[in-house]
Amino acid sequence: MSGILLLTYMLAFALGCMTLALAIVYRLSVKQHWATYFIVCHASLLGCMMLLALQILSKLFLTGLIYQLVSYSIGAVFIADFTFLIVFIPYFTTWVIAHPWRQPYKGTFFSLAALYLVLGVCRQVLDLALLDQVMLFVFVFVVAFCLVVMLKNLNSIANKTARASAISIIIVSASMVPAILLALFFPSVKPLMFGIYFIALSITIMTFLFMEFVRLGRESSVGPKELVLEDLEEYHITEREFAVIRLISKGCTNKEIAGELGISANTVNNHVANIFSKTKVRSRIDLLNLLKQSW
């Protein structure tokens, strides 16, 4: 069993290094905040894969207090990373389906992350195996919820790359169901599942990044990139507000925007006020200058 674990962790480490390198290149090419968060988390998980491999080897050389300290350190890093994933996975899901990351989901998943963190600390202190199962259930619930949301919105995703990414995420996640069930009913196989989870995560993100690089290559060969909703992700702009922004960039007045979108002038005024508030600008000129930076 130790040999299989060691092989799994080393394979996970190799795939993780490739994914991390691609993510760093992607972050340097595209201004996406989720990529920064992912790089930090993935690098930490990558370190855990190496530590788990070393932990297996350390059983031959370390005993007593030193071995316990190594085990607690690895457990603490894993708890912190999975706490982060409970927030990151829904955040990434909303980015894929082009929906704003907002309440009540935002508060819900932050609460679940806090619950997972508390359970993890109690698990480290009290060493209760039951808490492992509860923590796994919380994590599985978050992943399952996000998959359902992604599946529900699959046909409405306009971006072809995002749609293909969503399909790949669903396929990889579905293939993980047997592994998750094994971990739920047979806790002894959970160490192996850590490596498998990480491999699945790496494959999913790697698939997405490859498709993104293909898309970016096509756009650069065609001409200048057109502003899309994802470029304004950090400002939490809604789809309707983005439609208003595009018309503002074309020089339309509020009255003309109202006619184009089939809404009242007062509604347009409210949208413009919200856009100014979110982007922290005071005029259309400031907004247009900000949009040029986002391109």
CATH number of domain containing 148: 1.20.1070
Whether the ω angle into residue 224 lies within 30 degrees of 0, i.e. cis, is no
Same domain, 153 and 277: no
Other C-beta atoms lying within 10 Å of the C-beta of residue 143: 20
Compute the average pLDDT of residues 243-269: 89
Over residues 98-149, the pLDDT tens digits come to 676 677 878 899 999 999 999 988 888 887 778 888 888 888 888 888 888 8
Please say if the pLDDT value at position 286 is more than 70: yes
Mean pLDDT of 276-284: 85
Amino acid at 291: L
Q: What are phi and psi of 289, to 5 degrees?
A: -65, -40
How many folded domains does the chain comprise?
A: 2
The reported pTM is 0.61
Residues 17 and 57 in one domain: yes
**206 contacts: CB under 8 Å, gap ≥ 6:** 15, 18, 19, 22
Closest CA to 245 of 293, 295, 284: 284
CA 230 to chain CA centroid, Å, is 14
Rounded to a whole number, what is the distance in angstroms from the first to the last CA of the chain? 52
Residues 203 and 251 in one domain: no
Residue 293 CA to its chain's centroid (Å): 24
**Alpha-carbon Rg for the chain in angstroms:** 22
CA distance 261 to 284: 19
- Using one digit for the tens of pLDDT, what is the confidence trace for 160-177? 666 777 777 777 777 776
Q: List the alpha helices (DSSP H) in 186-283.
A: 190-222, 239-249, 254-261, 265-279
| Domain residue limits at 258 | 229-294
Which bin fits 100, alpha (ψ -120 to 50), beta or left (φ > 0)? beta
Same domain, 99 and 25: yes
